[in-house]
Amino acid sequence: MTGPTTPENPLLYYAHITDPHPLYPSVNEQTAPSALHIIISNSSEKPVYCNYITLTFPCGDEPDQLIGKGKFSAIKGRCPQGWTVTKTGSEGNIRIDPPNRKTAKLLTYDQSSKKSTDFSVVQVTLENLHVNKEAGTARIEITENTSTDEESSHFSDKKHILLVTKFPLPAIAVQAVSDFHADKPSKNCGEDVTLTWRGPENIEYTISYGSGAKPKSGQSDTVRDFVWKGTVERDTTFYLSYAIKETTYRLSTTVTVNNPQLTALTVKGSTSLQDNVSVHGDLQTSTKGVTTFGNPVTASSLTVRGDTSINGSVTIAGNLTAKGSLVEIQSSRLNVKSATEFVDEVTFSGSAHLLGDFQDLKKFSGKGFKEEFSAPTDGFVIGHLFMEASKVMRGFPSGFLAVTSSNKYFFTTGMISADYCGSYYEVIAPVKKGSNFVIELTLINMGNGLYDTGMRGDFVWIPLSRGKASEAKFVRSFDNPP
């Protein structure tokens, strides 16, 4: 009866190192992956021929296992000497094959007879290893199919155990985390900000801040790569938090904003604004206290719900619509530069100056005329005529004094006569802004003599505002009546 076979000792020598070294368990899912470097060489006095090498990794979450559960598929392997590294079969198995899957020859320390197809050393690197969270020693089982000659029947599998230790996480000094700062201490509203710091890679960092900042798209506030990116709208203090031995520590840094955007602002003391102030929404003042503007204030829309006192000049460049009573303009003046509509009554406790300066349009004596003018504002045209009794009259003339507005409205004194010497006649005509009006003195000669009655008079323009009437066109002037 044949007894158990004693495993053959491996013909190749295996050395390894981890990156990082020493190797520590993962802290959480964000812990950076590790790498394992294996150096395979021949330390004997005879060449070693190799068909393949397999590695079996213990996978799971126990102390004697290396790769976290479900993380084996993430491993990537490479070999600078051209050997292929592939994951095969069940979870945890990796196979290493010589180039073209041919038998490889690994030389001894005496390499004087080395050929291009021979190898003195094989370096295998396994990257993206997600180590589990438990400290302990894991056993990686190595199987090599090797022989001391090229006879195929002499090849056999030989076992070797590679021990990889996961050391407990070391105590971290609080001072190990430092240099927490922003790329610039001052920003403009909405500008990008980048925070960086120094510290160990095996602890988790949390960035916290107020409503004046927000992270960039995809940026988490829990980080491990020592960088946080976001934007700022107003002065913000950022806090970097991390835990060591169940104690949380914090560092802080502040970024000021030159033109901050505020969601609300309450000022209890005096406030000085040195430049322009733009209000895009409602501007409300408290019922307590007084709001004083020492310089011009521009508002696209202004609603005043309570009493308002204006002690200086008010200039309104657009329309002014008063739905209630507009009262008590007591001092200074209300200067309205464009059209103003008062829907309800307007009450002035002081004087109201509505008329502009009078303008003489025409002074006349003893001659008929007809002239046309243009009205710059609403206003009145007033004509006067006086018949002097002491003057010599011949011909018994008669006629009329008249104003015609836009050839539509006719205002006249009615018929005048030289029979009534010493009489006074007057005509008053309202005229709308922009219209033309004609003033005239028409005389009718009732006799055959020259006309000389000693009459005199004038026409005057009285604007409702300011503005002089301009002569639109000269109609005619004559010495004798028609």
**Number of other CB atoms surrounding residue 443 within 10 Å:** 24
Q: What was the pLDDT predicted at 262?
A: 82
Architecture of the domain whose range is 174-257:
Sandwich (2.60)
- 13-166 folds as Immunoglobulin-like (2.60.40)
Domains of the chain, by residue range, sit at 13-166, 174-257, 316-347, 359-477
Is there a common fold for 13-166 and 174-257?
Answer: yes
Residue 418: burial class (beta carbons within 10 Å; 0-12, 13-18, 19+): buried
- 359-477 folds as Jelly Rolls (2.60.120)
**Number of other CB atoms surrounding residue 416 within 10 Å:** 23
Among candidate residues 397, 399, 435, 403, the one with its CA nearest the CA of residue 414: 399
Question: DSSP strand E in 176-294: where?
Answer: 178-182, 186-187, 191-198, 205-208, 213-215, 222-223, 227-232, 236-244, 247-257
Among candidate residues 29, 16, 71, 31, the one with its CA nearest the CA of residue 169: 31
Q: What was the pLDDT predicted at 173?
A: 66
- In a structure prediction context, what are the per-residue pLDDT tens digits for the chain, which is 482 residues long? 444 445 689 999 999 999 999 999 988 787 889 999 999 999 888 899 999 999 999 999 999 999 999 999 999 999 999 999 999 988 999 999 999 889 899 887 665 666 766 888 999 999 999 999 999 999 999 999 999 999 999 999 999 999 999 999 777 766 688 999 999 999 999 999 999 999 887 788 999 999 999 999 999 999 988 999 999 999 999 999 998 877 899 999 999 999 998 877 777 777 777 777 676 766 666 666 666 666 666 666 667 666 677 766 667 766 666 666 555 555 455 565 555 666 666 666 666 667 778 888 888 876 778 888 888 888 888 988 877 655 545 444 566 777 787 656 777 777 776 555 567 788 888 888 888 888 888 776 544 444 455 678 888 988 886 656 666 554 444 333 33
Which amino acid is it at 67? I
pTM: 0.45
Q: What was the pLDDT predicted at 353?
A: 67
SS3 content of the chain, % helix, strand, coil (to 5): 5, 45, 55
Q: What was the pLDDT predicted at 480?
A: 36
Peptide bond into 63 cis (omega under 30): no
Q: What was the pLDDT predicted at 450?
A: 43
Torsion angle, alpha carbons of 296, 297, 300, 302, to 10: -130
CA distance 84 to 73: 17
